């Protein structure tokens, strides 16, 4: 087997939980030492892995050759601070009664920010680092009972994959990748810092709260950045937020990649950028931005850099003013500040890391006693750097709580546990037992924080919302402007004091970041083809539809009885249309109706006054008065068609019209028959008048009218007319009309009237040339011709006329035919009575043409 195959096989076996006796050999083959940087062993030990130094940036290799050994250099003051916090917590625990009969020790490894080095350190903590390993190495107790670390997500993922199969608990203080909540893959992983699952969603809610729907994102091309932005984009989509661009960079990228990202930011239309980046990646991006002098960007930051004092105090990064983002809650363990300020190389002569720290912060050397050498009299209190800044101890507190989480699980394990089985042999709890109790740990530290883990090994997500605001000296400060608490109901989780915030460029005006301006009520959004849903045009709602809130995606139709107002933002009751007394057409028709009544009354008065004259007597005065009475009813019945339809008016208008007109036509028909009978009576030997005398005339009128009455009664009994809201003819208004009830009844009434009119017209037509000097049949013929023409024209007009015009057409037909009868039959007689009295004689009436 080749060395390449051997190495691959060994790594696969380890990551799948199969014990490999020569783990140290694996490390040696890879050229990676796995020796603790700091160690103080007690009867119970915990391990810790921090990125205390920066590693040389190496290109990835494919195992074709032996990789070069990772070189570490440059002390990371923040990570050194984590180390000292861990030591402080362990000493505090040992000085308390939390672990009676036992004391904690530690083994601290340096991963140098390398994933591989973190994995090798984890291997060494599992069963020690030995030059020679045997087959019994797998059965030996682990070197530690739990591990605290790492600070970054990618090394932690590798570390958790290695130690998980061996049931060794791993508690991280700063690995936030939501992928680590996968219990099937990382079953021994816990953390005291919230998962990015919550932070990403909190950022989406934050962006939505400020009305920003068009943003750009920049991320680290790592597990932290990729998973964080993926979760943010998912949450943003649910909130209706669109991403204009999404750029990724990593600290190993060449400068051209950073310049390309800067160019994308410059050309973008959005000025709000969500930066989900690790601190080291973001610093490199900021350096390039400072060189390009880019300003006016509203930065939204993740917890990895949003409370970085180094960035805030660097004046070249003044363009970060107004940045806003979520930070871990700022709690400060009691006594930690004093402990950190009291570290000194003289107190631990063998602590090379402490000496390196001293040389780094004071820029001196213990190996050089001449000028520039460290004397040990230097004072940390005179320094202002990342280590001596105690305003932000957010992550240090998470290291502190991580150590206490392990200690409290050990405390629960040791309850009732016989720590010493006999005087010579100790029985130690196993990591598996610590893991079992760590799942259920629940305690409160001296910062009043309640610490416990959910089923995924995550704590409750609580964040401070901080805003970068300038100070008098030109630096930036972190102002608390809100909180986010995932334990609260969803609508109460995000709480913001927006009044005290400053924005990009130190402006008090909230920036606007949208692809398209908001669509006002009365319009809807129409997505622009080929662009995200946040880019849209505003389309006015169609008639009868409304949108009553801003940025409506759809217009909603109004109810059947409602219609949209002019601005299309509210449904109003439709206009109810009917022929009213108050409108011009209704008033005009009423006037004509009253004129008809007045003229009919005038003619009646005139006929009554001249009732003894030959012309009145010769034209059957009884039928004439009955005809005038029926014409008066015809004019009056037209008034029932005007006004708001009711049950009574709907029944009355059609039946009154049918009966009065049949009564009128019956009288005209009677007069026509009388004319014909009178001519026949002048013939020798004819006695026809005795068969159509006054009694027969009355009976004929009553009989013919009674038939119409019966038709109307049947109609009203079976299916009478009723008021009806016609919603279908017009979309924008309602026609209040009289529904016929039974269309057959209506056309039966109209058909019977037409039948009598036709009969009367035919008879009058035959009698029009009878040799009387004053033949009334001529005028009846002409009147019936007008009557029939009007009603034949009425039928198509009635069917096609819309709304109230249907009623107006029927009214016009009633009035026109009534006036036709009145003028054609009675106007010639009135002309003789008033203007030609010399012709109003019996001789003239009896004269032959």
More confident residue, 10 or 376: 376
- Predicted pLDDT of residue 300: 95
* Residue 352 within any structural domain of the chain: no
- Answer whether 547's CB lies under 8 Å from 568's CB: yes
The candidate with the shortest Cα–Cα distance to 204, out of 308, 296, 300, is 300
* Residue 814 within any structural domain of the chain: yes
pLDDT higher than 70, residue 647 = yes
- Token pair in block for residue 712: 């109307």
Mean of all residue pLDDT scores within the chain: 84
The candidate with the shortest Cα–Cα distance to 37, out of 384, 356, 374, 487, is 356
Does 709 share its domain with 815? Answer: yes
More confident residue, 417 or 167: 167
- Predicted pLDDT of residue 275: 96
Which long-range contacts (C-beta less than 8 Å, at least 24 apart) are formed by 588-591?
Answer: 589/638, 589/642, 589/808, 589/811, 589/812, 589/815, 590/639, 590/642
* Residue 589 within any structural domain of the chain: no
* Residue 184 within any structural domain of the chain: yes
Does 148 share its domain with 208? Answer: no
Q: Where are the alpha helices (DSSP H) in 647-727?
A: 647-681, 694-718
- Answer whether 137's CB lies under 8 Å from 399's CB: no
How far apart (Å, rounded) are the C-alpha atoms in residues 663 and 658? Answer: 9
The candidate with the shortest Cα–Cα distance to 803, out of 608, 472, 581, 575, is 575
734 falls in which pLDDT band (50, 70, 90)?
confident
Q: How many domains does the chain have?
A: 4
* Residue 614 within any structural domain of the chain: no
* CATH number of the structural domain spanning residue 177: 3.40.50.2300
Does 200 share its domain with 297? Answer: yes
Question: Tens digit of pLDDT for each residue in 205-247?
Answer: 999 999 999 999 999 999 999 999 999 999 999 998 999 999 9
- Predicted pLDDT of residue 116: 87
Within 10 Å of residue 301's Cβ, how many Cβ atoms? 25
* Residue 839 within any structural domain of the chain: no
- Token pair in block for residue 630: 């029926």
Mean pLDDT check: name the lowest of 61-75, 402-416, 595-609, 829-843. Answer: 61-75
Q: How many residues are given for the chain?
A: 849
pLDDT higher than 70, residue 845 = no
The candidate with the shortest Cα–Cα distance to 205, out of 453, 485, 504, is 485
Does 696 share its domain with 679? Answer: yes
More confident residue, 143 or 488: 488
Mean pLDDT check: name the lowest of 52-66, 460-474, 587-601. Answer: 52-66
pLDDT higher than 70, residue 69 = no
pLDDT higher than 70, residue 678 = no
- Answer whether 792's CB lies under 8 Å from 816's CB: no
Quick check: helix, strand or coil at residue 466? strand
The torsion angles phi and psi of 181, rounded to 5 degrees, stand at: -85, 0
Question: Tens digit of pLDDT for each residue in 177-208?
Answer: 999 999 999 999 999 999 999 999 999 999 99
How far apart (Å, rounded) are the C-alpha atoms in residues 232 and 196? Answer: 9
Query: What single DSSP character describes residue 6?
Result: H
Q: Read off the pLDDT of each residue in 146-169 and give the average, rounded to a whole number.
A: 92
Does 648 share its domain with 794? Answer: yes
* Residue 514 within any structural domain of the chain: no
* Residue 104 within any structural domain of the chain: yes
**Exposed/middle/buried for 39, CB within 10 Å: 0-12, 13-18, 19+?**
middle
Does 175 share its domain with 260? Answer: no
Does 269 share its domain with 322? Answer: yes
Quick check: helix, strand or coil at residue 663? helix
Does 439 share its domain with 468? Answer: no
How far apart (Å, rounded) are the C-alpha atoms in residues 762 and 777? Answer: 11
Domain encompassing residue 307? 196-329+459-506
How far apart (Å, rounded) are the C-alpha atoms in residues 780 and 795? Answer: 23
253 falls in which pLDDT band (50, 70, 90)?
very high
Does 659 share its domain with 719? Answer: yes
Q: Read off the pLDDT of each residue in 591-605 and give the average, rounded to a whole number.
A: 91
The candidate with the shortest Cα–Cα distance to 660, out of 741, 582, 736, 596, is 596
Residue with tokens 């003044």: 318
Does 436 share its domain with 488? Answer: no
475 falls in which pLDDT band (50, 70, 90)?
confident
463 falls in which pLDDT band (50, 70, 90)?
very high
pLDDT higher than 70, residue 575 = yes
- Answer whether 771's CB lies under 8 Å from 802's CB: no
Quick check: helix, strand or coil at residue 774? coil
Element spanning 108, H or E: strand 104-110
Does 162 share its domain with 230? Answer: no
Question: Tens digit of pLDDT for each residue in 258-308?
Answer: 999 999 999 999 999 999 999 989 999 999 999 988 888 999 999 999 998
The candidate with the shortest Cα–Cα distance to 644, out of 733, 725, 574, 719, is 725
- Predicted pLDDT of residue 458: 95
Query: Residues near 216 by Cβ (< 8 Å), separated by ≥ 6?
Result: 243, 244, 245, 246, 247, 264, 265, 268, 270, 272, 273, 274
How far apart (Å, rounded) are the C-alpha atoms in residues 320 and 324? Answer: 9
9 falls in which pLDDT band (50, 70, 90)?
very low
How far apart (Å, rounded) are the C-alpha atoms in residues 119 and 137? Answer: 19
Question: Tens digit of pLDDT for each residue in 789-840?
Answer: 877 787 777 767 777 788 888 888 888 888 888 888 888 888 888 888 877 7
Does 7 share its domain with 59? Answer: yes
Query: Residues near 706 by Cβ (< 8 Å), separated by ≥ 6?
Result: none
């Amino acid at each position: 087997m080749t060395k390449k195959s051997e190495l691959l096989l060994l790594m696969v076996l380890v990551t799948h939980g199969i014990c490999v006796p020569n783990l140290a050999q694996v490390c040696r083959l890879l050229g990676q030492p796995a020796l603790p940087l700091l160690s103080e062993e007690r009867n119970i030990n915990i391990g810790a892995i921090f990125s205390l130094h920066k590693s040389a940036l190496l290109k990835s290799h494919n195992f074709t050759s032996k990789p070069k050994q990772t070189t570490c250099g440059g002390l990371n003051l923040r990570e050194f601070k984590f180390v000292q916090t861990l030591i402080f917590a362990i000493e505090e625990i040992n000085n308390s009664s939390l672990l009676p009969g036992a004391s904690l020790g530690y083994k601290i490894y340096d991963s140098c920010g390398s994933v591989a080095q973190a994995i090798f350190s984890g291997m060494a903590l599992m069963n020690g680092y030995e030059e020679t390993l045997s087959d019994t190495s797998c059965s030996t107790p682990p070197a530690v009972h739990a591990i605290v670390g790492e600070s970054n997500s990618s090394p932690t993922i590798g570390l958790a994959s290695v130690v998980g199969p061996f049931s060794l608990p791993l508690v991280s203080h700063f690995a936030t990748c939501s992928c680590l909540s996968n219990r099937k893959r990382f079953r021994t992983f816990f953390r005291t810092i919230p998962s990015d699952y919550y932070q990403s969603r909190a950022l989406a809610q934050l962006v939505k709260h400020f009305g920003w729907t068009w943003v750009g994102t920049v991320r680290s091309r790592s597990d932290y950045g990729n998973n964080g932005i993926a979760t943010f984009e998912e949450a943003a989509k649910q909130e209706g937020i669109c991403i204009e661009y999404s750029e990724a960079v990593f600290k190993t990228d060449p400068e051209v990649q950073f310049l390309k990202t800067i160019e994308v930011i410059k050309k973008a239309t959005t000025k709000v950028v969500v930066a989900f980046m690790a601190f080291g990646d973001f610093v490199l991006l900021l350096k390039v931005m400072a060189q390009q002098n880019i300003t006016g960007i509203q930065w939204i930051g993740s917890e990895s850099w949003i409370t970085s004092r180094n960035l805030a105090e660097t004046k070249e990064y003044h363009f970060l003013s107004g940045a806003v983002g979520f930070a871990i809650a700022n709690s400060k363990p009691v006594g930690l500040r004093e402990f950190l300020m009291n570290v000194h190389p003289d107190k631990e002569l063998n602590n090379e890391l402490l000496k390196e720290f001293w040389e780094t912060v004071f820029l001196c050397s213990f190996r050089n006693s001449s000028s520039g050498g460290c004397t040990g009299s230097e004072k940390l209190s005179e320094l202002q750097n990342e280590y001596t800044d105690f305003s932000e101890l957010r992550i240090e507190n998470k290291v502190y709580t991580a150590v206490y989480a392990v200690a409290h699980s050990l405390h629960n394990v040791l309850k009732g546990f016989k720590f010493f089985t006999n005087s010579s042999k100790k029985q130690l709890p196993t990591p598996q037992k610590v893991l079992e109790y760590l799942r259920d740990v629940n305690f409160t530290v001296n910062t009043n924080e309640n610490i416990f883990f959910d089923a995924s090994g995550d704590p409750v997500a609580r964040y401070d919302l901080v805003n970068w605001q300038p100070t008098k000296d030109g630096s930036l400060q972190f102002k608390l402007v809100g909180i986010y608490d995932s334990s609260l109901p969803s609508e109460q989780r995000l709480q913001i004091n927006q009044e005290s915030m400053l924005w990009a460029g130190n402006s008090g005006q909230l920036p606007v970041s949208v692809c398209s301006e908001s669509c006002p009520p009365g319009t809807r959004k129409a997505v622009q083809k080929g662009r995200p849903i946040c880019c849209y045009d505003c389309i006015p709602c169609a008639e009868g539809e409304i949108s009553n809130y801003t940025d409506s995606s759809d217009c909603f139709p109004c109810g059947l009885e409602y219609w949209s107002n002019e601005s299309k933002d509210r449904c109003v009751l439709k206009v109810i249309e009917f022929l009213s007394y108050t409108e011009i057409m209704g008033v005009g028709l009423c006037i004509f109706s009253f004129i008809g009544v007045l003229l009919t009354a005038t003619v009646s008065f005139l006929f009554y006054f001249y009732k003894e004259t030959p012309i009145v007597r010769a034209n059957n005065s009884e039928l004439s008065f009955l005809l005038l009475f029926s014409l008066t009813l015809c004019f009056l019945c037209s008034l029932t068609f005007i006004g708001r339809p009711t049950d009574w008016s709907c029944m009355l208008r059609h039946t009154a019209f049918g009966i009065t007109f049949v009564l009128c036509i019956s009288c005209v028909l009677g007069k026509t028959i009388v004319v014909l009978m009178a001519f026949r009576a002048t013939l020798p030997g004819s006695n026809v008048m005795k068969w159509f005398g006054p009694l027969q005339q009355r009976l004929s009128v009553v009989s013919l009218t009674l038939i119409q009455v019966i038709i109307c009664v049947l109609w009203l009994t079976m299916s009478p007319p009723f008021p009806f809201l016609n919603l279908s003819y017009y979309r924008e208004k309602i026609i209040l009309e009289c529904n016929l009830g039974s269309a057959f009844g209506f056309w039966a009434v109209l058909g019977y009237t037409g039948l009598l009119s036709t009969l009367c017209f035919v008879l009058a037509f035959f009698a029009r040339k009878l040799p009387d000097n004053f033949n009334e049949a001529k005028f009846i013929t002409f009147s019936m011709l007008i009557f029939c023409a009007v009603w034949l024209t009425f039928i198509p007009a009635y069917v096609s006329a819309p709304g109230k015009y249907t009623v107006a057409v029927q009214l016009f037909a009633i009035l026109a035919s009534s006036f036709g009868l009145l003028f054609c039959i009675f106007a010639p007689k009135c002309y003789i009575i008033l203007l030609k009295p010399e012709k109003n004689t019996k001789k003239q009436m009896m004269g032959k043409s």
